[in-house]
Amino acid sequence: MSEQDGNGLLGQHACRFGLSEDWTGDLTNGLLKLGNHARNLHGLENHECGLLTVMRCYDQADRGHILRLFEQAATQPSRFCYSTTIVAGAQHRQPVFCIGESSGFEGSGGNMVGLFIFPRFQLPTTASVMPS
């Protein structure tokens, strides 16, 4: 459910708090498919890419934990969530929340679906929070 739909859990007020966008993953080829907002905020040129490419902009301290979550989800049906910060340059730090689940392991496949949530504020290089 994206912010444009206005029918999500928070309804028409969701866009006041942030952007949300679906993503999918194909476990047969290891590719994640992101929407336009997620692609832009992650600093990516392509909609489809591998997990390590998506994680490249994440706070380095969070990458190992996020990788372990995806590794577990790639081996058995599971649900997961994480939060981190997209670090883009010295002055841009965008919080991101991700919720996902894996399924479809019958046969040789498997897939993931999830949701990115990007709050409408950025974190400065200091600890205080500023509206965007």
Give tens-digit pLDDT for 112-125.
999 999 998 766 66
Cα(69)–Cα(76) distance, rounded to whole angstroms? 11
Name all domains of the chain by residue range, CATH numbers in brackets: 19-131 (3.30.450.20)
Q: Say how far residue 132 (Cα) sits from the centre of its chain.
A: 19
pTM over 0.95: no
Amino acid at 7: N
| Residue 5 confidence (pLDDT) | 46
Cα–Cα distance measured from residue 132 to residue 9, given in angstroms and rounded to the nearest whole number: 23
What is the rounded average pLDDT of the residues 85-93?
84
Alpha helices in 18-131 (DSSP H): 36-41, 51-55, 60-75
Rounded CA-CA distance 115/131 in Å is 22
First to last CA, the chain: 23
